[in-house]
Amino acid sequence: MLGFLFVLFVIIAIVAYKTIKIVRQSEVFIIERLGKFHKVAGAGLTIIVPFIDRVRSVVSLKQQTMDIPPQNVITTDNVTITIDTVVFYKITDPAKAVYEIQSLKKGIEYLAITTIRDIVGKMELDETFSSRDIINTKLRTVLDEATDVWGCKVDRVEIKDITPPADIRDAMEKQMNAERNKRALILQAEGERQSAITLAEGRKEAAILDAEADREARMRRATGEAAAIKEVAEAKAQEIQMVYEAIKNSNPDEKLVQIKSLEALQEVAKGEANKIFIPFEATSALSSLGAIKDVMKDDKK
């Protein structure tokens, strides 16, 4: 009796194992019934008919990556380079991914290899280094269109490395060193030229400022001298006016006027001029003085 119960328990456990399936998140089960596609079981608990239904494949719906083996590609200028690529893809239709192609990964790999050789084979060596984004975009577009019938979507294709031959690398390094030295010399010459221009502009501005300052000083000095001359002239004019008014108010006679003229003539004679022009009016005064001198001599005798 115990042996029968044990066998029954084992049969029930096997049936339960065959019947109850638990699908994990981000995965699906492809269920076949009697060898024919039946359904796609999503995440959670799934019940199947034992010995009639079976799980054909477990398909992951997560983003997947696949490294493409490095490929030797010949460019249009006959240089053999090695390209290392990685593909990011996601399965959108699990049934197509299982039934439309024997091996999805092999199909993506072979398709990527042939596409890389087709795209890069139409480029020159220098263009391959400067056109990585273009190569990635073309690869992704071709792979996405080709794998759509397999229930797969290619999200990104990235070229990890492009390796030229050793002799080409040496030549490229020498060329880059020459370019760097050339750019350094150009930058140095440009800096020296800019420095010379800046110094010349500084000297020019300093000369302009000095000239403006000198002109301003001369103008101010001339203005001050003119103002001083004007003040002196005004003072002399006032003095002359005062003397004139005083003489006028004192009713001078002709003799006094002549004496004052002689005094003025004496002041003029003190100057640096070699010649002195005596006014006609002064000669009469001089003759009068001479007459007075003779009279005084006679008196003394």
- Residue 273: helix, strand or coil by DSSP? coil
**Are 266 and 282 within one domain?**
yes
Q: What is the pLDDT of residue 154?
A: 92
Rg (CA), the chain: 60
**Are 158 and 182 within one domain?**
no
Q: What is the pLDDT of residue 29?
A: 92
Which residues of the chain fall below pLDDT 70? 1-2, 239-240, 243-244, 246-301
**Are 180 and 244 within one domain?**
yes
Q: What is the pLDDT of residue 50?
A: 83
Q: What is the pLDDT of residue 13?
A: 78
Q: What is the pLDDT of residue 87?
A: 93
- Domain annotation covers residue 158: yes
Final residue of a domain: which of 99, 131, 164? Answer: 164
In order, the DSSP letters of 184-214 are HHHHHHHHHHHHHHHHHHHHHHHHHHHHHHH
Q: What is the pLDDT of residue 244?
A: 63
Q: How many domains does the chain have?
A: 4
| CA distances for 153 relative to 146, 149, 280, angstroms | 9, 10, 129
The secondary element (H helix, E strand) that includes residue 15 is helix 2-19
Q: What is the pLDDT of residue 167?
A: 76
**Are 44 and 69 within one domain?**
no
Q: What is the pLDDT of residue 90?
A: 93
Q: Which residues contact 158 (CB under 8 A, 6 or more apart)?
A: 85, 86, 88, 136
Strand partners, 86: 67, 158
Q: What is the pLDDT of residue 292?
A: 46
Q: What is the pLDDT of residue 299?
A: 47
- Domain annotation covers residue 2: no
- Domain annotation covers residue 33: yes
Instruction: Show the CA angle centred on residue 277, arms to residues 275 and 280, nearest 5°.
Output: 160
**Are 77 and 159 within one domain?**
yes
- Residue 24: helix, strand or coil by DSSP? coil
Q: What is the pLDDT of residue 301?
A: 43
Q: What is the pLDDT of residue 11?
A: 79
Strands in 64-74's sheet, in edge-to-edge order, are 64-74, 80-91, 152-163
Q: What is the CATH number of the domain that holds 159?
A: 3.30.479.30
Contacts 24+ apart (CB under 8 A), 287-295: 288/255, 288/258, 289/262
- Domain annotation covers residue 9: no
**Are 137 and 214 within one domain?**
no
> Has this prediction a pTM greater than 0.85?
no
Which amino acid, 12? Answer: I
- Which range of residues forms the domain containing residue 261? 252-301
**64 alpha carbon, distance to own chain's centre:** 40
Closest CA to 146 of 201, 172, 109: 109
**Are 74 and 142 within one domain?**
yes
Final residue of a domain: which of 251, 268, 283? Answer: 251
**Are 158 and 232 within one domain?**
no
